[in-house]
Amino acid sequence: MQNYDYIVVGSGSSGSVITNRLSEISNISVCVIEAGGTNQHPYIKMPAGFIKTINDKRFNWCFKTEKNKNVNNREILFPRGKGFGGSSSINGHLYVRGQPDDYNQWSQLGNYGWSYDDILPYFKKSESKENGSADTRGKDGPLFVSDIVEKHPICEEFIRGSRELGIKIQEDYNSGDQEGIFYYQRTIKNGARYSAYDAFLKTAIKRKNVDVKKNTMVLKIIFEGKKAVGLVCEKNNKIFQIHANKEIILCAGAIGTPHLLQVSGIGNFEHLNEIGVKPVHENKNVGEGLQDHYAVRVANRINLPNSLNEKASGYKLALEIIKWFMFRKGLISYSPAHVGAFLKSSPEIDFPDLQFVFTPASYTEGMIGKLQDHPGITCGVWQSRPQSRGYIRATSNNIKIDPIIQPNYLKEKIDQDILIEGVKMCRKLLKTSNIEKISVNETLPGEHVKTNNEILNFVRNNGATVYHAIGSCKMGVDQSAVVNPSLKILGLENIRVADASIMPTMPSGNTNAATLMIAEKASDLIKKDLN
């Protein structure tokens, strides 16, 4: 049996950070285990390759949600990254921290040490931002965060038009003030994706004290009583065990982490007995509290021949690919979202509760990533802090069988009401004088959809995940918690969780930046226990 001081399960965003930071200490050994491969395919490096990875099982677990009446009994594709960098290798590159109040709420829930002032140094530590205030932005961190260089003329019209609605221009939505309209910041460097692998893991695996086991599946955690001591793994149909001298750190994400805990005997005993798992430690909250952003989009056909639709096929696409390989510019260097906004669904609330994305392109309804054959524009929206909660549940003692993923989108009426307002605001943003002059008609949902009930039915039929799964191993100090504020699993020894599953509530934005922050803080918590 191989022995290591620390074993990191998963080489995604959090696993890459923790492997890097722990291996900075030369006299400790770190093993990182990854079910996928190296993820160095051109689809990964090309920012626009995002579209190709969404349903490709080489890079993606390609989960599906359980059917749910609130979304008209649809199964929804639920991508999760597989391979070095995890979901940071297949995401939409957007770097969004959230609002200070998001993290202050974590602290108010009893998670002391997780207020905005507490975690801001970790956001700064992880990033290298081209421009930004030294008070709030990092300058010399491993992760490169860039501004959009090529600003599409339609995006410029969209921003100018928003001024008619009294929307302010936000210079840096990651500075502590989100509200307004802006160009998104991206984890893109020199026109290519810059994942957590590029920023953190690539350096770490060159160190002598790091062992990487790729294409290796963790089957279960080994416990001696309440102490986690090792893992049962499989590679090339061969099963073997590895031992942790100090800790096992779970970084398998909001789906993978609770799933692994459940098949290892940690969860609701009634559920574990039903699926043939020998119970080890009861915590009924493992897998509960799943949250995700649920998005819908409004699209217009336009009369200009310069949307992205016209460049995405035939010889024009070939030229764009050549341009990217030669200069790292053009269509292939674009993120799926260009312009964003954080706005309030009602003037009575204190903070923005809707996030918007705008793209100078339109997509075929019901087909992921397929552009329409005519010029178009799209404005998407989701509720920043949804109240609906779901769950993750293993269906077998075999971890290779997918778990039930039930986000319970739109379960709470407030989520329905806010998204209805979000669709209305999308329409307003697409009906300013600057956009009206280039619009032909609304293609999605279509101008026949008018009443609140009609909009809600459209939302139920057409919404999809934004790939922001969190909360399934909640951090806290109450009866609903799985881990404490030091990220140690309650009631167990030598095991922590350090990924998006620990978030007690949803940050107001894309979740990758927050996940990297969690991993940075977790690394310091682990190092503190060494002293």
- Residue type (1 letter), 477: V
138 DSSP assignment: -
Taking the C-alpha atoms of residue 97 and residue 485, their distance in angstroms, rounded to an integer, is: 20
Taking the C-alpha atoms of residue 471 and residue 64, their distance in angstroms, rounded to an integer, is: 18
Select which of 93, 152, 338, 468 is catalytic: 468
* Contact predicate 428/164, CB 8 Å: no
* Contact predicate 165/432, CB 8 Å: yes
Q: Verify whether residue 468 is a known catalytic residue.
A: yes
Residue 460: C-alpha distances to residues 160, 344, 388, 411, 417 (Å): 31, 22, 14, 11, 12
Taking the C-alpha atoms of residue 126 and residue 13, their distance in angstroms, rounded to an integer, is: 11
Q: Which of 253, 212, 227 is nearest to 87 (CA)?
A: 253
Q: Which of 289, 330, 288, 280 is nearest to 310 (CA)?
A: 330
Taking the C-alpha atoms of residue 261 and residue 266, their distance in angstroms, rounded to an integer, is: 5
Q: 376's torsion region: left (phi>0), alpha (psi -120 to 50) or beta? A: beta
Q: Any idea which residues carry the catalytic annotation?
A: 468
